[in-house]
Structure formats: structure tokens, C-alpha cells
């Protein structure tokens, strides 16, 4: 009897799905319904929203208003909102200024390094700043070197980020002064069996220390591992395990702003810039306030397009948080910012699109937080809005991973499947969560916006298989 009731209920539910799909081909609806019934991972839930942008009509919905954790598809809300703002293409900047006078090869005054939260600032850019300073008319600094990190509050992680994800490189310590994403890349090269592997670290800095406990080509040594003494907020890196072949891993470092400034001071000294600081402390932190004698000595810029590309293609969390902070500056005009200022701008766009911000919960810009709750229909609403704005859509579409080609979709939707090259979408995943949202082009040439949010699914492989099958059906049937 229970089986009969279950079948009747399921049949009525699937009939309601067909009704939601309007006058579309019944075979298309049946295929998706069968997929839900047969292929949805056991014990899991899913919400789906599909909108035909070409025909301007809803194609399919299934629990589209269901609140779900978005994981990295949260980056779509952050990026679309940021790209829609006035001045969206203003580059990220890191600057060096001075206050003082130069006499006889000596700067009598202070040097200020002003952080603009450039998430792509790397070792090459650091060396560029150092070179520009070394080209100035002084080689001695009688003053202090200051780092200006005043544009952002002191909260170094987003709300709801997990303490035990430390020291993973995907969760760096956030600061307006970031060097190499606040991380160190450690590469191990095996030597003779039983000998320690050769270690190479980038960037080179005395800000951190390295202990080599590796063994070349020895299974008894265990798996290769790079970590640090993060429970003590220390920056001693431990590299251990067997090195069978060349291996690389990255770890974050504690206090990104100190990492930046410490390494900058070392590079200035290596460039024969003498720092005559009687205190013996060669840098500290202070806000730069320009005046009539201020001179900008150097600047490095990163285009917004480069930041957006990493957000979408590689799902870079730091870049998304930098974009969120920048979004706060764009919309408030304020100099001192927090993540909340950026989230308020996202909520404003939610309201503009006809939804109530109070129906959702936004905690960060990248989706690392489990406090985020949004819905498939909200994701599709943002995608529809982006599509309606040519300036936004062109940048977003170009940056999204392409099925079977690049980014986080490189090894999915392989050649020979309908989705190959026809899906441009953002992935999102962490334990129990797997989402996919973006655009696809159907066999009939229609542009479609979609969101698939799998929840409570322990098998990421099964969730991805389900999502790819949904995309294949949509592309094949329209």
C-alpha cells in the first residue's frame, strides 16, 4: 500500500513539473523528470531553474525557490553586482608614496605602501615597485616605511569561514596588501632514493621558515604533505612524506600584510636601499594622508578583467573577496570598508530585480561560508540581469569556464557530449554541496540561463554527473 501511495504522489509531483514548463516539448520534460527520479543521488535534494533568454520565457523549474548553500556560485552574485557599477573597470592599484625631501642621495621622510586589495599582486609586481623606488634620486631613507591597510577592516576571514580549513591556500588571510595571494608555493624535486628532496619556495622570503622532512622515492615515508604551525599562528612550514616525482603545494601564511611588508623591506635592502631606522623596526602600519609635498614614486595595476577571470575560471576566493570589498567602495564612496558594505550592494540589486533580500542570507563574496543561503531562481535572476546588460554580459561570459575546455569545467562535459563547448558556467562545491550555474547554447541556437543546486550530496562525482546530464538534455532538446 505504501508503495502505491508513493507512486501516486510522485506521479502528481512530476505532472506539476510538466505544468510549470508551459508548452515545451513533453519529451524534454519527461527526460528531466526521469533524470530526477532515477539519477538524483540518494538522500540528496536539488533545486533547478532554467530560463530561455532568447524566447524570454521559463523553460523548467524544480524547487527553484528552495534555499540552498551556493558554495562558489555565490561568486556570480558578487561579480555581476560589481561589474554593473559605475567605474567597474577601474584597475586594482598598489602604490608607493613619500612625504619628505630629498637631499644628497637621502630621503628625509617616510615611505608609504598603500594597499588597494589587489588579489593578483605577485612577486614580479613587488620587484617592479622596488625597481621604481631604486630609480628615484635617493638610496638612503631616514624615516619609516609604512604599510597602509586602512581601506579594509581588520577581519581577516569572512563570516562563517572554517578555522580548520587553515592553512589551505584557498582560505588566505585577507588584507589590502596581498603578496602572491598570501601564500607560499613549495615545490619538491626528488633526489636519490632515501635522500631528502630538494625544496624550492616561491616567493623567497625570511618571513617564513621551512623544515624538510621529505624522503625521495620511499613509500614508507607516507604521502607528500605541506603544512605549517597554524594553531600557533606561526609561519614555520613543514614539508614531509615521500616524493616520487616533482610535486607542488601551497599554504597560506599568517598575517598577509606583514608578509608583504617584510618581503618588500628585504627586496629594498637587496636593491641597495639603506634604511636608517634607529628603532631597528623597519616597517609598521599607518594610514597615508596625502598633502602638498606628497610624491607618488611607484604604482602597479591589475585590470578588473584579470581578477574576474580568476574568480570564474579558477574559482579564486581571494579575488571574489577583493571584488566584494571594491564593490563596497564603488557603492558607498567610503574609504574605510568592510565586507558588509559590499553585501549591502548585492542586496540592493536583489531588491531591484524584484526579490526580497530578507528572504536570503548573504555572508561573504566567494561562497566559502555555510551561512550563505540563496535559491536557483535568484541565481537565474542575476544571470538574466547580466544578459540584459551588454557591458556586464560580455565580461562575465568571457570569464566563465567552458565545458570540456578550461577552468573548473575542463575535465567535465568532454568532447562528443552535447555540453562540450556549449556550456559557460560557474561551479560551486564543498562537502555536501555541489552547484552549477551559468549559460548554455541549445542545438537550436537559443541562449539559456540555468542554475542547478545539489544539496546534502556526499558524492561530488554523482552530483556532477547529474548536472551534466541536465545540461545535455537542455542542449539536445532545444
Residue 477: the pLDDT is 86
Asked whether residue 308 carries a pLDDT value surpassing 70, the answer given is: yes
Q: Does the N-terminal peptide bond of residue 46 adopt cis geometry, omega within 30 degrees of 0?
A: no
pLDDT in tens, 422-476: 999 999 999 999 999 999 999 999 999 999 999 999 999 999 999 999 999 999 9
CB 32 within 8 A of CB 60: yes
CB atoms within 10 A of CB 48: 25
Spell out the residues 6+ positions from residue 170 whose beta carbon is closer than 8 angstroms to its own: 317, 368
CB 350 within 8 A of CB 108: no
Q: What is the mean pLDDT of residues 3-23?
A: 41
The number of CA neighbours under 13 Å toward the Cβ of 192 is: 1
pLDDT in tens, 37-70: 999 999 999 999 999 999 999 999 999 999 999 9
Length of the chain: 478
Please name which of 157, 155, 238 lies closest in space to residue 201, comparing C-alpha atoms: 238
pLDDT in tens, 126-135: 999 999 999 9
Class of domain 92-154+256-299 (CATH, top level): alpha beta
Residue 16: the pLDDT is 40
Residue 321: the pLDDT is 98
Number of H helices, E strands in the chain: 11, 18
The number of CA neighbours under 13 Å toward the Cβ of 322 is: 32
pTM of the predicted protein model? 0.93
pLDDT in tens, 246-257: 999 999 999 999
Residue 15: the pLDDT is 39
Q: Where are the domains of the chain?
A: 19-88+306-477, 92-154+256-299, 164-252
CA angle 403, 406, 411 (to 5 degrees): 65
Q: Does the N-terminal peptide bond of residue 165 adopt cis geometry, omega within 30 degrees of 0?
A: no
Region for 432 from its dihedrals, namely left if φ exceeds 0, alpha if ψ lies in -120 to 50, beta otherwise: left
**Exposed, middle or buried: residue 291 (CB in 10 Å: 0-12, 13-18, 19+)?**
exposed
**Residue 440 forms beta bridges with which residues?**
423, 448
CATH 3.40.630.10 fits 19-88+306-477, yes or no: no
Residue 5: the pLDDT is 37
Asked whether residue 318 carries a pLDDT value surpassing 80, the answer given is: yes
pLDDT in tens, 218-245: 999 999 999 999 999 999 999 999 999 9
Amino acid at each position: 500500500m505504501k508503495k502505491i501511495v508513493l507512486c501516486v504522489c510522485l506521479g502528481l509531483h512530476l505532472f506539476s513539473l510538466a505544468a510549470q514548463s508551459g508548452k515545451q516539448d513533453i519529451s524534454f520534460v519527461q527526460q528531466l523528470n526521469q533524470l530526477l527520479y532515477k539519477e538524483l543521488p540518494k538522500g540528496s535534494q536539488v533545486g533547478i531553474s532554467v530560463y530561455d533568454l532568447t524566447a524570454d520565457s521559463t523553460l523548467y523549474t524544480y524547487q527553484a525557490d528552495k534555499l540552498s548553500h551556493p558554495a562558489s556560485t555565490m561568486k556570480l552574485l558578487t561579480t555581476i553586482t560589481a561589474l554593473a557599477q559605475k567605474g567597474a573597470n577601474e584597475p586594482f592599484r598598489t602604490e608607493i608614496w613619500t612625504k619628505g625631501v630629498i637631499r644628497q642621495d637621502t630621503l628625509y621622510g617616510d615611505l608609504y605602501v598603500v594597499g588597494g586589495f589587489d588579489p593578483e599582486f605577485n612577486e614580479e609586481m613587488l620587484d617592479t615597485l622596488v625597481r621604481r623606488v631604486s630609480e628615484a634620486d635617493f638610496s638612503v631613507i631616514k624615516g619609516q616605511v609604512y604599510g597602509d591597510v586602512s581601506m579594509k577592516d581588520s577581519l581577516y576571514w569572512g563570516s562563517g569561514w572554517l578555522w580548520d580549513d587553515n592553512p589551505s591556500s584557498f582560505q588566505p588571510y585577507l588584507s589590502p596588501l596581498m603578496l602572491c595571494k598570501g601564500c607560499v608555493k613549495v615545490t619538491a624535486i626528488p633526489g636519490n632514493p632515501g635522500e631528502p628532496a630538494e625544496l624550492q619556495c616561491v616567493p623567497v622570503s625570511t618571513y617564513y621558515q621551512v623544515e624538510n622532512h621529505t624522503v625521495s622515492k620511499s613509500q614508507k615515508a607516507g604521502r607528500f604533505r605541506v603544512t605549517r604551525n597554524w594553531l600557533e599562528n606561526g609561519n614555520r612550514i613543514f614539508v614531509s612524506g615521500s616524493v616520487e616525482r616533482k610535486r607542488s603545494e601551497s599554504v597560506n601564511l599568517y598575517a598577509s600584510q606583514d608578509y608583504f611588508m617584510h618581503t618588500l623591506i628585504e627586496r629594498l635592502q637587496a636593491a641597495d636601499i639603506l634604511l636608517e631606522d634607529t628603532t631597528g623596526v623597519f616597517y609598521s602600519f599607518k594610514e597615508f594622508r596625502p598633502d602638498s609635498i606628497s610624491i607618488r614614486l611607484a604604482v602597479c595595476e591589475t585590470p578588473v578583467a584579470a581578477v574576474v577571470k580568476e574568480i570564474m575560471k579558477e574559482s579564486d576566493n581571494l579575488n571574489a573577496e577583493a571584488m566584494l570589498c571594491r564593490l563596497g567602495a564603488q557603492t558607498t564612496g567610503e574609504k574605510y570598508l568592510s565586507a558588509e558594505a559590499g553585501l549591502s550592494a548585492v542586496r540592493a540589486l536583489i531588491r531591484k530585480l524584484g526579490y526580497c533580500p530578507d528572504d536570503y542570507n548573504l555572508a561573504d563574496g566567494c561562497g566559502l561560508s555555510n551561512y550563505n543561503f540563496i535559491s536557483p531562481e535568484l541565481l537565474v535572476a542575476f544571470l538574466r540581469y547580466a544578459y540584459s546588460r551588454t557591458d556586464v554580459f560580455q565580461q562575465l561570459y568571457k570569464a566563465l569556464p567552458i565545458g570540456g575546455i578550461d577552468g573548473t569545467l575542463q575535465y567535465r562535459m568532454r568532447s562528443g557530449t552535447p555540453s562540450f563547448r556549449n556550456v559557460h558556467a560557474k561551479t560551486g562545491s564543498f562537502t555536501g554541496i555541489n552547484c552549477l550555474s551559468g549559460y548554455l547554447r541549445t542545438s537550436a541556437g537559443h541562449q539559456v540561463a540555468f542554475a542547478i543546486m545539489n544539496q546534502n550530496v556526499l558524492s561530488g562525482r554523482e552530483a556532477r554527473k547529474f548536472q551534466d546530464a541536465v545540461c545535455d538534455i537542455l542542449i539536445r532538446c532545444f
